[in-house]
Amino acid sequence: MKRLRLAAVLAAALLAFLPATAQAADYPDPLPLTGQEIIHDPTVAHLKNGRYVAYSTGGIIGARLSKDMKHWDDSGNAFAEPPSWWYEYNSTGDPWAPDLSFRDGKYWLYYAVSSWGTNHSAIGVATSKSGLPGTWTDHGKVFTSETTDTWNAIDPGVIKADGKLWMAFGSYWTGIRMVELDPKTGKSVPGATAWHLATRPDAPYAVEGPYVVKHGRYYYLFASYDACCSGVNSTYKIRVGRSTSVTGPYVDSTGTPMLEGGGDLLLAGHGRYVGTGGQSVFRDHGKDWLAYHYYDADDNGTPKLGLNRLGWVHDWPVVK
pTM, two decimals, is: 0.91
Give pLDDT tens digits for 219-250.
999 999 999 999 999 999 999 999 999 999 99
Q: Is residue 38 marked as binding?
A: no
Higher pLDDT, 5 or 45: 45
**Whole-angstrom distance, CA of residue 106 vs CA of residue 93:** 25
Active site residues: 41, 208
Give pLDDT tens digits for 33-70.
999 999 999 999 999 999 999 999 988 899 999 999 99
**Whole-angstrom distance, CA of residue 96 vs CA of residue 93:** 10
pLDDT(6) > 80? no
Contacts of 210 (CB under 8 A, 6+ apart): 155, 157, 168, 169, 170, 176, 178, 197, 198, 221, 222, 223
Q: Is residue 52 marked as binding?
A: no
Q: Can you point out the beta strands (E) in 216-286?
A: 218-225, 237-243, 264-267, 273-284
What letter would DSSP give residue 112?
E
Q: Is residue 155 marked as binding?
A: yes
**Whole-angstrom distance, CA of residue 118 vs CA of residue 122:** 11
pLDDT for 25: 52
Number of domains in the chain: 1
pLDDT for 80: 87
Q: Which domain holds residue 17?
A: 2-319
CATH of the domain at 155: 2.115.10.20
Average pLDDT over residues 196-222: 97
Average pLDDT over residues 197-201: 97
**Whole-angstrom distance, CA of residue 259 vs CA of residue 249:** 8
Q: Is residue 90 marked as binding?
A: no
Q: Is residue 59 marked as binding?
A: no
* Average pLDDT of every residue of the chain: 92
pLDDT for 161: 97
β-pair partners for 97:
none
